[in-house]
Amino acid sequence: MTSRLNLVILGIQGAGKGTQCKRLSATYVIPHISTGDILRAAIKDKTELGFEVESILAQGGLVSDDLVNRLVEERFKQADAAKGALLDGFPRTIGQAEALDAILGDDGVKLCINLDAPIELVTDRLSRRRVCQECGHIYRDTDEAATSGECALCGGPVIQRADDTADSIRQRLSLYERDTAPLLHYYEERGLLVTLDADQSVDEVTAEIEKILAERGLV
């Protein structure tokens, strides 16, 4: 493996980013870093930035790019990120991508993997998704934990998120096209973009990613 395997995973919601990140994290022993997890961890750990985030959210505000950037920078200082990380949900904008470059310095982003999925596919996946409120584990609506409403891992409540309804999904996809899609051009210009078909089995997508990383000498 190269000095630090920093990978950005892009794709519209429901494309399978979280699933692939968990698999790759286990294979290459690097953390899966998502913006949502960082925010929740900072609040739970009662860090200085966590108190700032909690205050903003309590007032119904939006966490600024500057604050998210600082949280990501803080996360990369933790020991488990010494060999790199899988970035899921960050960067979301060109400004965040530039901030990430500054955070990583010479060790920068090694590859940006874009999981390309049809709108119909992700709409179906998201509308059928159920999530444990305690541990964040994801289920399908037909899973026993989803029908019982109790997480099989931690016993927490399993719900359908408010933003997984049809109207919310359409709004989120529109925001993605506006704010995040330009990142494809950003990484393509740097020769770091690889687009994969996400409309195939989880195993097939994982195999393609691992093959690309090996071919580029990144693992």
Catalytic residue among 17, 75, 125, 130: 17
Closest among 133, 119, 149, 25 to 81, alpha carbons compared: 25
Closest among 77, 80, 101 to 90, alpha carbons compared: 101
Catalytic residue among 22, 40, 70, 92: 92
Please tell me what DSSP assigns to residue 218.
-
Active site annotation includes 140: no
Beta-strand relationship, 158-159 and 129-132 = antiparallel
- In the structure encoding, which two tokens stand for residue 85, read together? 């990380």
Catalytic residue among 70, 83, 128, 172: 172
b (16+ CB within 10 A) / e for 135-144: ebeebeeeee
Catalytic residue among 44, 161, 170, 211: 161
How far is residue 135's CA from residue 156's CA, in Å, rounded to a whole number?
A: 7
Active site annotation includes 161: yes
Catalytic residue among 4, 23, 75, 129: 129
How far is residue 74's CA from residue 53's CA, in Å, rounded to a whole number?
A: 14
Residues classed as catalytic? 17, 92, 129, 161, 172
